[in-house]
């Protein structure tokens, strides 16, 4: 078999003579061009690698810093959900006290005083009763504001629809701003609102592995015939056992980005100068949505859709699931008399249903487009398959990109919701390093009678807009 060699630092030899320059240990070359070149053997446990989750959902881009920072803008509109008043029923004026965190993440605030509520004189508001006080529904105009309170004059002739001080002086209501009103000749709005940007960060971690074989045992050599771009033929060689080490390291690059957690302040790891990193699961648990219910009926999935409605409402989403959760969704859809069959655009796959199926995805539409795939990582008994404590059943990942403020660039930038940042500079690329040391296999770096293949990567996962992600537990 002859293959075109891309522009990597490999030098095929005219004869089958092992050397450091014709040893095939290049990650990109192997993955893109030689997926089926290794000798066939029966693997008792099948393909032992996890699926290329990050390759399917994310992207990779360089970073020259050991700290990656970005800013995510909060919500555009203002809503408080823990508001109380001593007003009595039928009062035409009422003063409300806001008990919400005054500068919550994903909210806006008055930059003149960050401790002030983001409600201004002239705003028109809707007051809605929370659970237990569903009968409360009023609209009014704000006439006075303090740091934590605002006064409203109601538009309704019957006044406040609350239950009155004799029953519950502090019933909880929700308040949101829907506009403003001013009289003729009045001054404009007092004060301005600025977006409250949540500053997020993550630091890369260094991953390493090594394969070593002594010179006497270097018998398991495989050869691959290639042709260079200028038409010259030659041979590259590899060691099967090293290939398995590389595959294992490849898996760790992915699983570390999924499982990593930041070292906490009082932890033993931080005491020994290990920082950890924020992986996908941790990011979703901290800033995203966690689903712990069943998926036995369409109503269950509708609850998920409603959660997405309250966030960014991303049109296309990808579900990576373990087997049981995948079957549960299949059963749910089957119960709808083939609901969704042909009912999705497959836009994520260039509207090609066959392409989606070939990649192991099935699609359906329920409010949004969803593409579902089994995730081997959650089924593999040597990894997350079969776990009880801390079990994860799947993730929902939004497709596409989001706009964030890049702290390094100093400007807004479009970034994939999920992507890897690897450490790199003009002289050092640490995305995936592989090199040979020793004195065997053509290496000449020491007098030790071995060939050592070294692997290194320095990377971090960036989960942007985590509020659009969902973790099934």
Q: Going from the first residue of the chain to its last (473 residues), give the mean pLDDT of each consecutive group of 10, the final group possibly shorter.
A: 41 72 53 38 44 70 84 75 87 90 48 68 90 82 91 93 58 87 88 73 91 75 68 70 81 91 90 92 92 83 87 85 89 67 57 62 82 88 86 90 67 80 89 87 83 90 90 92
pLDDT at position 10, please? Answer: 62
Asked if 449 contacts 437 with a C-beta cutoff of 8 angstroms, the reply is no
Instruction: Report the C-alpha dihedral over residues 242, 60, 399, 204, rounded to 10 degrees.
Output: 90
The answer to whether 107 touches 176, Cβ cutoff 8 Å, is: no
| pLDDT of the residue at 166 | 41
* The predicted structure's pLDDT at residue 258: 92
pLDDT at residue 25, rounded to an integer: 57
Confirm if 246 and 252 have CB atoms less than 8 A apart: no
Determine the pLDDT at residue 337. 59
Residue-level pLDDT at 35: 39
Q: 386 in the Ramachandran plot: left (φ > 0), alpha (ψ -120 to 50) or beta?
A: left
Tell me the C-alpha distance between 174 and 105, whole Å. 18
Mean pLDDT estimate for the chain: 78
For the beta sheet containing 394-398, the strands, ordered from the edge strand earlier in sequence to the opposite edge, are: 289-291, 470-472, 394-398, 316-321, 368-374, 362-366
Q: What pLDDT was estimated at residue 355?
A: 62
Q: Are 249 and 255 in contact (CB under 8 A)?
A: no
Say which residues have a Cβ less than 8 Å from residue 183's Cβ, sequence separation at least 6: none
Contact (CB, 8 A) for 173 and 85: yes
Block residue for tokens 């099934």: 472
Q: Give the per-residue pLDDT at 74.
A: 67
Give pTM, 2 decimals.
0.72
200-239 pLDDT, tens digit per residue, is 889 899 999 988 888 777 666 667 777 755 565 777 766 7
**Is the Cβ–Cβ distance between 396 and 465 less than 8 Å?**
no
Q: Are 189 and 122 in contact, with CB atoms under 8 Å apart?
A: yes
User: Tokens for 177?
Assistant: 């701003």
The hierarchical CATH code for the domain 75-195 is 2.40.30.270
Instruction: Kindly report the backbone phi and psi dihedral angles of residue 330, in degrees, each rounded to the nearest multiple of 5, phi listed first.
Output: -60, -45
- Which structure tokens are listed for 301? 């999935």
The encoded tokens of residue 378 equal 């959650």
Using an 8 Å Cβ cutoff, are 270 and 304 in contact? no
Q: Tell me: the pLDDT tens digits for 284-337? A: 999 999 998 778 788 888 888 888 888 877 888 889 999 999 888 888 877 775
CB–CB of 405/47 below 8 Å?
A: no
**What local confidence, expressed as pLDDT, does residue 46 receive?**
46
- Whole-number pLDDT of residue 403: 72
Whole-angstrom CA distances from 375 to 51, 314, 380 are 7, 22, 9
3-state secondary structure the chain: CCCECCCCCCCCECCCCCCCCCECCCHHHHHHHCCCCCCCCCCCCCCCCCCCHHHHHCEEEEECCCCEEEEEECCCCCEEEEEECCCCCCCCEEEEEECCCCCCCCCCECCCCCCCCCCCCCEEEEEEECCCCCCCEEEEEEEEECCCEEEEEECCCCCCCCCCCCCCCCCCEEEEEEEECCCCCCCCCCCCCECCEEEEEECCEEEEEEEEEEHHHCCCEEEEEEECCCCCEEEEEEEHHHHHHHHHHHHHHHHHHHHCCECCCCCHHHHCCCCECCCHHHHHHHHCEEECCCCCCHHHHHHHHHHHHCCCCCCEEEEEECHHHHHHHHHHHHCCCCCCCCCCCCHHHCCCHHHHHHCCCEEEEECEEEEEEECHHHHCCCCCCCCCCCCCCEEEEECCEEEEEECCCCEEEEEECEEEEEEECCCCECCCEEEEEECCCCCCCCCCCEEEEEEEEEEEEEECCHHHCEEEC
- Given this model, what pLDDT does residue 42 score? 37
> Angle 284-288-292 (CA atoms, 0-180°, nearest 5)?
80
């Amino acid at each position: 078999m002859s293959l075109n060699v891309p522009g990597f630092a490999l030098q095929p030899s005219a004869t089958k003579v092992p050397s450091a320059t014709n040893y095939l240990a290049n990650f990109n070359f192997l993955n893109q061009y030689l997926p089926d070149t290794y000798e066939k053997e029966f693997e008792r446990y099948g393909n032992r690698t996890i699926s290329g989750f990050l390759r399917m959902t994310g992207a990779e881009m360089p970073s020259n810093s050991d700290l990656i920072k970005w800013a995510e803008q909060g919500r555009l509109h203002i809503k408080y959900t823990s508001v109380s008043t001593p007003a009595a029923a039928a009062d035409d004026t009422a003063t409300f006290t806001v008990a919400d965190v005054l500068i919550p993440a994903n909210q806006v605030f008055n930059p003149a005083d960050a401790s002030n509520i983001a409600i201004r004189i002239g705003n028109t508001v809707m007051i809605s009763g929370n659970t237990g006080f569903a009968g409360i529904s009023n609209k009014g105009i704000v006439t006075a504001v303090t740091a934590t309170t605002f006064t409203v004059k109601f538009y309704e002739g019957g006044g406040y629809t609350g239950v009155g001080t004799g029953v519950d002086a502090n019933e909880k209501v929700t308040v949101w701003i829907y506009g403003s009103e001013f009289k003729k000749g009045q001054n404009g709005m007092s004060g301005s609102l600025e977006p409250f940007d949540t500053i997020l960060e993550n630091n890369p971690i260094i991953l390493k592995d090594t394969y070593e074989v002594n010179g006497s045992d270097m018998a398991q050599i495989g050869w691959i015939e290639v042709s260079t771009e200028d038409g010259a033929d030659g041979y590259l060689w590899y060691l099967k056992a090293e290939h398995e080490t590389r595959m294992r390291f490849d898996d760790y690059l992915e699983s570390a980005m999924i499982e990593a957690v930041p070292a906490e302040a009082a932890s033993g790891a931080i005491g020994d100068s290990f920082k950890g990193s924020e992986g996908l699961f941790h990011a979703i648990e901290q800033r995203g949505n966690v689903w712990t219910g069943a998926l036995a009926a369409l109503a269950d999935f509708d609850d998920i859709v409603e959660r997405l409605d309250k966030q960014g409402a991303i049109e296309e989403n990808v579900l990576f699931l373990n087997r049981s959760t995948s079957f549960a969704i299949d059963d749910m859809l089957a119960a709808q008399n083939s609901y969704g069959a042909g009912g999705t655009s497959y836009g994520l796959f260039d509207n090609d249903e066959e392409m989606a199926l070939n990649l192991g995805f099935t699609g359906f539409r329920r409010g949004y487009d969803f593409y579902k795939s089994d995730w081997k990582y959650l089924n593999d008994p040597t990894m997350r398959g079969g776990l009880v404590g801390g079990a994860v059943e799947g993730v929902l990942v939004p497709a596409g990109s989001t706009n964030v403020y890049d702290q390094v660039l100093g400007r807004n930038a479009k970034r994939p919701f999920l992507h890897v940042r690897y450490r790199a500079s003009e002289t050092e690329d640490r995305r995936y390093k592989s090199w040979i040391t020793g004195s065997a296999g053509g290496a000449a770096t020491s007098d030790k009678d071995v060939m050592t293949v070294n692997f290194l990567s320095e990377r971090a996962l960036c989960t942007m807009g985590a509020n659009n992600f969902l973790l099934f537990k």
